[in-house]
Structure 1
Amino acid sequence: PAPFTVLSGVGTSQLVEIRATDEAGNAWVCQFTLVLQDTISPIPNSATLPDVLEECNATLLIPSANDNCDGLITATTTDPINYSAQGSYVVTWNYTDSEGNSTSQTQNIIIDDTTAPDISACSPDTSFTVDIDSCEKLMAGIDIGTPSVTDNCALDTVFNDLSATLPLGSHVITWTAIDEAGNSSICTQSIEIVDQEAPSLTCPNDTLVIIAPPSTSEFINIPLPLVSDNCSLDSYSNDFTGIEDASAIYNIGTTVVTWMAIDDSGNSSSCSMSVTLLDNVPPEITCPPNVDVDATADSCEAYVVVDLPTASDSDGIASITNDYNGTSDASGIYPVGETTLTWTATDNSGNTSQCQSLVSVNDVSPPTIVDCPSDVEVYLNSGECNIDSSDVTIASPLVSETCGVDTMYNDAPASFVVGSTTITWTVLDDSGNSSICQFNVSVIDTIVPVIIDCPNDTTSYVGLGECDLDSSLVGLVQPIIDDPCGDIMISNDAPELFPVGSTTVQWTISDGSGNSSICLQEINVLDTIPPTLIDCSSDAEVYLDEGDCTISLADITLEEPLIESDCEVLSISSDAPSVFSPGTTIVLWTIEDASGNSTTCAQNVNVIDTIAPAILECPEDSLVIVSESDCFTSTLVLEQPVATDPCSSLLITNDAPAEFWVGFTEVLWTISDTLGNESYCTQIVQVIDDTPPVIVECASDTVIYSGEGQCDIILNLNPPSVTDGCGVDTIYHNGPAA
């Protein structure tokens, strides 16, 4: 290369040639290959990597270096880049460029946790009661709470110095939290062990002493109660003597002695015993006189004032009661009848005496009939003119009688005839008082007359020119009937004239009670004469619109046939399709009268298609270049036109020759549908001969001499020898004419 040519790209090689030439033209040449190599190692961007000091964990940032060829180099290492265990580590970083030149650096990593755990909240102070029958608390399984502890790195353990058993009193518990680096923190918690168990206190048994009159008191020896405490007892006493010993003089009757025991923690227990002094002589009692009163009007009870009995006892009367209301006063409301009162007098020693008195209440009010039975309607059964009383439901009256009903009865007859019968109820109470009420039983005849045989349905026919029949000609006959309880009347709703069709005649049979029965007879008047066809519809021709292959029935006007009928024409219809296709369709007309008689005739509907196929695209003109020595082509394949017709398939033809000669040829395309409609388009085929004529031999060079005195000469040059596969058109030269 030229001097000062710059080579770029590591590994690029260049062949260098040195040539020496002397003045005589002698030359000496030597060659060598120059190869560009990179031997410079990357230079770290930081001369010294900083030490990484963390307490819990560290993730190293990857350093980089700059290379003279590769630019920025990212360091690599085989050492971990994430550290979480306490300790010191050295990481070796390597920077290597694409040519293998490398530089390395080391970096120190120190993971040293010096932060103690944070006990932000010690377990709250708390208290516990001593165990039952004990003066200390067994702490095994007792939840005293847990401090809230956090650590910047990882917590190792949290523990306390709680003893297995705590005695009564206050205790300070120390909690210690240690992290995995050995740093620790403490907090304290107070626990109070309290005694809430009351002393155990068992009273002496109740004491019962019988004393003889006239004594009313006596000294009684009372045993001491049984007292103990789980911790330490403070004192105990009773409320009768105020000291531990309850022995003393007690009066006749019952004295309740209550004991109270208190321990050093202020817990207390109590129990009670009774000391009873009794005599054994019953009191004396005298009953009040018997009482006799009438009950309150319209009531089965009365308020009775009863005098009090009298009683006496040397020990005193504790109570006087009766067994009616359980009090000392027996006055109150008493029911009709006799009530025996038993009086009981009790003295202060519990001795009792009894006597009896009588309270009589008399009922003088008759029963109250609150609601007499409603009037009853009963209906005769078929074939009967009266009804047995056992077949009539006679309800009992609703009676209000607080003192009790003795009996109720009525005067209903053994059988009921058609019409209304009055029934009287009589009510007697237990005291012989009576009341009456009345209601009516109505027997109703609702049995309709029985139609044994309704007239049979009949069928009659109208004659020619008739559309109805007189009622005397259709066979009306009365039904056969039966009714046991009264006269009957027979009628019908037959018209005077029966039209063609079915007419329902209703026969009505009524008895003397207004009951009626009906039956129906069908009178059928038939018309069997069909309508007369005067003229069937004319044949129709319709033409399709462009783009349509069918025509809707709605777009065609079809004339109805002309008919004549004696009675009503029900319908004129045809089987014409909703859509007509090209060609002839036979439409059948049906004329039907109201009796179903019908006449038919046929009509031709001819749908004509005069729309030629649509040419969407004619083939483009074709250009063909024949090969050398050819003047025509017979292998040209022409593309067909694109055409459409909605009604039929298409036939596509053309008048193309078998061979296309050099020049222009017009091809006529013809598109025909199945109905003979045609469309046309033309295509130009141009055949080109681009092979030049061959000059087989050019005319020889010629020397022509002019005649004496001439300075020019008319040229008569021999033409060259020329051939061409498609014929030579003309040969000319560019020489002068003379």
Structure 2
Amino acid sequence: DIGYNMVILTVTDDNSNSDQCMSQVLVRDVTAPMLTCPGSATVQLSPTGTHTFELADFPGLTATDACLGLTYTFTPPIVYCEDAETTVDVVVVVSDASGNEDQCTIPTFVDDVTAPPIAGVCHDITIEFDYTGNAAINPDDVASIVDDECGQITLIDVTPNTWTGCVSVGQHLVTLTYEDNNGNLQTCGAIVTIEDNLKPDLECKATANVILDATTGCTTIDTSGLILSLYDNCGIERVDFQDMMTGALSQTVTYCCDDLGLNSVTIKAKDNNNNLSYCTVAINVIDDTAPVIDCTPLQRTHTADAGVCGFTMPGTGFDIQVTQPDNCPPVTLTHNYPAAPSTSTLAGATFPVGITIVDWVATDHSGNETLCSVEITITDDEAPTNTACPSNITASTSATSCGAVVSYAVPTFADNCDGTGLLGTLTNGYAPGTEFPLGTTTVTWEYTDLAGNGPATCSFTVTVNDDVNPVAMCQNSYTVSLDQDGNFEILVADINVASWDNCGQLVRKEISRDGVTFGGSVIVDCNDAGNAVTVTLEVEDSHGNTDQCVTIVQVVDDQVPDIECPGNFTVLNDAGQCSAVVTYNAPSVTDNCTYTVT
């Protein structure tokens, strides 16, 4: 009712009669409200970064007044981001309808609790693995710069932020964590797509040699021997040869004889994420397999044709053969024997007796050669013959030697290879004009041809007979002394001086005193003492030829008799005599012959 109020006064009497009058009454409120304030308060900024104070911000803030219709005002009425996280003194004024006021100051902490925005912060990205197969991101890789209601946000981290191994190729959800200036956290999600766009690191040889198989003439290769290095961060799915004309892929390439020389081949490496690398290798296809030939036997032998000193090959028996197909045919066979009608065969070729070395060369289409040498031996198996041989010969020894000089014509021989009028070799006996010994000597001449055939033999005998008497030679005279027994044995050696025979040893030497009975010795005795005895020496050679000579032997007895006398002795005189009759033993005498003692 504050303000002017119209008041009607009605007066009624007891009889219900009434009357009215009107008056304006001014009602005034002059009593100020009573404000009760809290000691402090906290308010939170709105998502827009402001806060307008209102009564509800101050729990415990109350006011009483006699009248209703209180009005509150706050100074400052609004706080902003710059006030965030600070205490602001808020003056609260309460006014009633009559303009009566009361106020207080409340320390108010301004709190920013609004998280940074999500929209527009995170964005998807695509990254690549590095050379080692790893990938990583930073927070700013997936964040856009967006302001918070209270300023720029600060990026904290992003998780996950690293990937190892190419199994991680593809999409990954990451969470970005960031905050505003007042420490309010927020997260958002982004898709990180990891790609592997690195080509394989492929290095190949510039050139390579391919040796064709020795049997098939073809060789199949793969890429392993052509690649120097191959690396990929995510691994290799496959390596192939690629035909650059057709694009066809293959694990192997086969080269054959038609590919001899330089060829180009392309190698394609594909990693597990379809990245491709190429390299080109120059392939030099080589046939280094020499032809295989059969030269056996390396030594071939054939006898010479009859009557001649050589052999003419009627067929191909001396030719060599290609034992198996060459890997890159054809194969040409040639030899170096100039006497053959053709350089490809020895048919019709004439070979002399002896050893001929024929060199063969087998050459294939690639120029590979195989050499072998065949030793062809033509043997001369035809023995030589004797064309002139002497007959047996008989001769007598000479007077001064036990042999005879014999002359004869030297035998001659002929051979199909060595010729005619050939002189042989004396293998037994003696040459003509030389002395042959006593007896029969077989003279053998032989001829062996240069091929070792033979020998052809010429044999005859030379018989030398001994018809010459030996020569007996005696002492002219010889004196002997009888021994103590009155005897002396004259031996052959006492009479023989130098008896000899033209044929050497005498088989018998004997002596005799009567010229009839011969023996090894002659005995003389005392009967011959002082006399001359004739001793005959007879010698005989081995062929019964004999000879005699004589020696006059003087027999002497010069042995002195041996006498032994009794010893001295003493005797007494006979009784009455001035002497004694003495008896003693006669002296003892010995001699080789008869004697007289006086």
- TM value normalised by structure 1: 0.32
Kindly name which structure, 1 or 2, has the bigger radius of gyration based on alpha carbons. Answer: 2
